Amino acid sequence: MPSMETPVSTVNVPSTFNTITATPMPSATALKMVVGRFLFMSFSSVQYMFCGSGGHLPLVQSFTYPSGQRLELTSVYGPPRPATIAPSGRRRLYFRTMSSRTMVFTRYWRYNLGDMKETSVPNLNRDPRLLVLFLTIIVLGMYAVSIVTIPEVRQPLRLVTFTLLIVVHLALHWMLEKISLHPKWIPWYIVVQGLVSLAATLLSGTVGMVYALYMGLIGEGIGLLGLKRGGLMALVYYLLLSLIGFIYYTGITSAGWWAIGTLPIVIFVATYVTLYMRQVEARERAQILASELETANRQLTEYAAQVEDLTIANERQRMARELHDTLSQGLAGLILQLEAVDAHLASQRHDKAQSIIGNAMEQARLTLANARRVIDDLRQTSLDDLDSALRLEMDRFTEATGIPIRFHPDHPPPLPDPVKETLVRALAESLTNIAHHARAQNVDVNLRMKDKSLSLTIQDDGVGFDASSIPAGHYGILGIKERVRLVNGQFEIQSENGKGTLLKITIPFLAGRSVDKAPL
């Protein structure tokens, strides 16, 4: 399958930071603020460099094959890896997508492919833990800065409590993939993370912990719930808690500086996550289309194999018809003429026998020519004059059997070769059957145009037969039916014992249009 790599978006990351001062504060505090913001922005830059246009938001996709089997794949940030398929009978759970739109679709993503042979879909990113690792590094970095620079934090009870809060905060991050499988757990996750982060911020002794903890949570909240009511409520909740932590260290008069320093970062995070989610949805659609295309290609391959089998079968049937209409009919006509010659010779009618022998020789040559033509290309040459071709078959029949034929033709407009060939072959086969089985005295042949259709009727006054039970081995009638079907026609045969036989072929015909072959 062609590569479906999504183009990398461009994100502008500020490279310089201004020190914010509102009220006199210790230089160490100001330094911690700058370090906190720098770590966060550095994290964003590193995340972008390593993940491209990716982020921490996982994507799960589900593909359903025509057989009912389902292929479900997880796509997150990180280097592309092929998506493996579980062995037959196994089930595996993966992430919920962090898009609120996708979260509505289904609660669990799993795959159980049975004997599915497909083994990979390229360019699906499957490692969802890279961002959590970055968050862990940032939080642990600020944790270390706090312990090293703030002596009060090293007090045993405070240090133990602070450490436990950081561990809980990071553990919740690492449990996010399981939590995201259950939409009802997400609000509790947001509330607990906010309170744990606030407590850790108050115990850290550094305002930089505000940015280290809450900016990542803001990105998660927007990714989980989108920029809708739930996402906006999570955003406001985290901002209020971060403001409380900021005021705790800098005083109420610094709230304006908090807004100046925080809002640009929040706007950057919200924009980044929103654009990324749109790109995730675009990739999801592209992967679904790619999977559908792969399924369609596989179906086309199967259909092509079926068409090939049908083509071979139909070609065999056509060869059987052609051989019957050439060799079988030709030899049957020769046998009929030789039988007539034998009867004339027995009656001492040598002139009549000589005439029939001449006709037999001509028919033998014609049969040989037809056999060679079938062997060459199995295609009948164009019949320029349908009327003449029909009369030629009837003249041969009358000369060989002595049975008169009354011919009543209309003059149809030009017909396609398949139609003319069908009519001539049907007449030849019908006359052969009459000569062999009917013991008829008269034959009527009508070629009529009526109601935008062309009909050929062949009727004899012979002994007839039961049309509802045609004996096996009548390949001629079967061949006529197949030929008529291929030109969208209808075949009808009526016969009763002692009342003769009527054979009727009707082929639809619209003036100025060719008769197309019926679908195989």
The pLDDT of residue 374 is 64
Q: Compare 109 and 386 and report the one with higher pLDDT.
A: 386
- Provide the 3-class DSSP secondary structure of residue 514: coil
The pLDDT of residue 350 is 82
Is the model's pLDDT at 105 over the cut of 90?
no
Is the model's pLDDT at 460 over the cut of 90?
yes
Query: If you average pLDDT over residues 232-257, what whole number do you get?
Result: 80
Is the model's pLDDT at 102 over the cut of 50?
no
Is the model's pLDDT at 259 over the cut of 90?
no
CA distance 116 to 291: 14
Q: What does the DSSP assignment read for 275-320?
A: HHHHHHHHHHHHHHHHHHHHHHHHHHHHHHHHHHHHHHHHHHHHHH
Query: If you average pLDDT over residues 49-68, what whole number do you get?
Result: 39
Sequence ranges of the domains in the chain: 27-57+127-301, 312-508
For the stretch 331-344, pLDDT in tens is 777 888 888 888 88
The pLDDT of residue 37 is 47
Query: If you average pLDDT over residues 311-335, what whole number do you get?
Result: 74
Looking at residue 324, what DSSP letter applies? I
Bridge partners (DSSP) listed for residue 409: 447
Percent of the chain with pLDDT over 70: 66
CA distance 327 to 474: 15
Query: If you average pLDDT over residues 343-372, what whole number do you get?
Result: 80
CA distance 52 to 79: 9
CA distance 504 to 502: 6
The pLDDT of residue 21 is 32
For the stretch 360-390, pLDDT in tens is 887 787 777 667 666 654 544 455 678 888 9
Is the model's pLDDT at 13 over the cut of 80?
no
Pick the CATH number of 312-508 from 3.40.190.10, 3.30.465.10, 3.40.50.300, 3.30.565.10: 3.30.565.10
**Cα radius of gyration rounded to whole Å, the chain:** 44
Percent of the chain with pLDDT over 90: 7
> Which stretch of 37-41, 47-51, 63-67, 277-281 has the lowest confidence by average pLDDT?
47-51
Is the model's pLDDT at 2 over the cut of 90?
no
CA 201 centroid distance within chain: 53
The pLDDT of residue 229 is 78
Residue with tokens 């062309």: 454
CA distance 379 to 484: 16
Is the model's pLDDT at 157 over the cut of 60?
yes
Query: If you average pLDDT over residues 506-517, what whole number do you get?
Result: 58
pLDDT band for position 443 (cuts 50, 70, 90):
very high
pLDDT band for position 406 (cuts 50, 70, 90):
very high
Is the model's pLDDT at 122 over the cut of 50?
no
Backbone phi, then psi, for 205, in 5-degree steps?
75, 10
Is the model's pLDDT at 115 over the cut of 50?
no
pLDDT band for position 164 (cuts 50, 70, 90):
very high
Cβ–Cβ under 8 Å, residues 76 and 58: yes
Is the model's pLDDT at 243 over the cut of 60?
yes
**pTM of this prediction?**
0.36
Query: If you average pLDDT over residues 254-266, what whole number do you get?
Result: 75
> Which stretch of 145-149, 276-280, 476-480 has the lowest confidence by average pLDDT?
276-280
Q: Compare 269 and 510 and report the one with higher pLDDT.
A: 269
Residue with tokens 């037969």: 465
- Provide the 3-class DSSP secondary structure of residue 34: helix
Task: State both tokens at 153.
Answer: 């934090």
> Which stretch of 55-59, 138-142, 318-322, 407-411 has the lowest confidence by average pLDDT?
55-59
Cβ–Cβ under 8 Å, residues 189 and 176: yes
The pLDDT of residue 418 is 83
The pLDDT of residue 215 is 78
The pLDDT of residue 189 is 84
Quote the mean pLDDT of the chain: 70
Is the model's pLDDT at 103 over the cut of 70?
no
- Provide the 3-class DSSP secondary structure of residue 261: helix
The pLDDT of residue 475 is 62
User: What's the half-sphere exposure (Cβ side, CA atoms, 13 Å) at 174?
Assistant: 9
The pLDDT of residue 285 is 84
